[in-house]
Amino acid sequence: MRALHPKQTELLEILKSNISDPLTMEELADRLNVSGKSVVFHHIKQLEKKGFLKRNPANPRDYIILKDPERNVIYLKMYGMAKCGPEGTILDGEPTRIVPVDPSMIYFPACKGFMVEAKGDSMENLIAPHDWLIVEQNHQPKNKDVVVCVNNGEVMVKRFTQDGENVILQSENPRYNPIVADKTAFRVEGIVRSIIKRNVSC
């Protein structure tokens, strides 16, 4: 692991403590007590280069912390499964929380990771309501992959099957019939890679 400049260590702590409400470059410069935004930008670029941080190039205030030197965790954003518009994606919405996750649970680049909280019983026996799903942003699932997807604006977790030109979305619960995805209004958000079981009734 490449050593961090003291200001980079301080900056990482500030970013961690404000991850749910990111600060502007001006606010970061003020917190770090440095001369201006260019100094902050330099240290952010160094954190990226050293593998501690991944920023969204379209939104500098949107970032994922990939390494936490003190706790050895990564931080994934959790999104709700609210209905999306025709061109919407759940990743356009505000995350509902930030979850620290053991890196050993991530078998793909952490910058592609996000989480959702399952709802409903359609995936019963595999996924229960309120389970936390670790998802890899990936729009090309294989047959039988469990995916987070949007069909006609509805966000759902289903087992993906390509049948000729049709995509079939299958539930694990036999009480639910398979769904033929709408070719004009269907999108895979990602592939479920890990399930964190949660018994919220206890």
Amino acid at 170: Q
Catalytic residue among 119, 158, 183, 197: 158
What is the rounded CA–CA span in Å between residue 70 and residue 59?
A: 27
Q: Under DSSP, is residue 72 helix (H, G, I), strand (E, B) or coil?
A: coil
Which letter does DSSP use for residue 108 in this model?
Answer: S
Q: Residues 121, 122, 124, 129: is their CA dihedral positive or negative? A: negative
Catalytic residue among 122, 144, 194, 197: 122
Strands 74-79 and 113-117: parallel
- All residues at 6 or more sequence positions from 140 whose CB lies less than 8 Å from its CB, including other chains: 188
The answer to whether 158 is a known catalytic residue is yes
Q: What angle do CA 172, 174, 180 make, to 5 degrees?
A: 75
What is the rounded CA–CA span in Å between residue 138 and residue 103?
A: 19
The answer to whether 197 is a known catalytic residue is no
Which residues form the catalytic set?
122, 158
